[in-house]
Amino acid sequence: MKSIRILLVEDNEGDIVLTKEAFEESKLTNKLVVARNGKEALDFLLKKNGYENAEQPDLILLDINMPIKNGHQVLQEIKADDVLRHIPVIVLTTSSSTTDVNKAYQNHANCYIKKPVDMDEFMQAITRIEQFWFDIVSLPQVNTN
């Protein structure tokens, strides 16, 4: 079975732990890498500043409200890059602001999900994301060179 590579861009330690737990309960083999701010995420994706050997993710889970570079800035840079733009980006954030939703889609987010506050609902949301993106959707073949 192919290992699924997921980049979680999240600065909230509680959400990181919950997301890891949800994916660990999965039937899929996955590799979850965490970037705790927007700059770290872009360094990872662009393979620089210590991430030269990083594997390109199959999917990115991106929070909007982060330090150094926010999710909108990260999303813009991902979708402007010829090598990265094909990677699906799921905005997973606490913001339900119409401005944030509209801006995310203007920057070509693949979907926008408001994080559930309840722990069980959060775990279910992660499971549904995984089921949809890895059981139903056909993802593009990633060239990791």
Q: Going by DSSP bridges, is the β-strand pair 89-93/59-62 parallel, antiparallel, or unpaired?
A: parallel
Q: Mean pLDDT, to the nearest integer, of 39-57?
A: 95
Residue type, 15: D
Q: Mean pLDDT, to the nearest integer, of 29-39?
A: 89
pLDDT of residue 145: 47
Given a cut of 90, whether residue 8 has pLDDT beyond it is: yes
Structural domain 4-134, CATH architecture: 3-Layer(aba) Sandwich (3.40)
Domain ranges across the chain: 4-134
Q: What is the mean pLDDT of the chain?
A: 88
Q: Mean pLDDT, to the nearest integer, of 18-42?
A: 85
CA 133 to chain centre: 12
**pLDDT top residue among 129 and 47:** 47
8-state DSSP, 116 = P
Q: Mean pLDDT, to the nearest integer, of 41-70?
A: 94
pTM metric for this prediction: 0.89
Given a cut of 90, whether residue 29 has pLDDT beyond it is: no
Given a cut of 60, whether residue 48 has pLDDT beyond it is: yes
Neighbours of 120 (CB within 10 A): 8
Distances (CA, A) of 58 to 30, 67, 84, 130: 10, 24, 10, 12
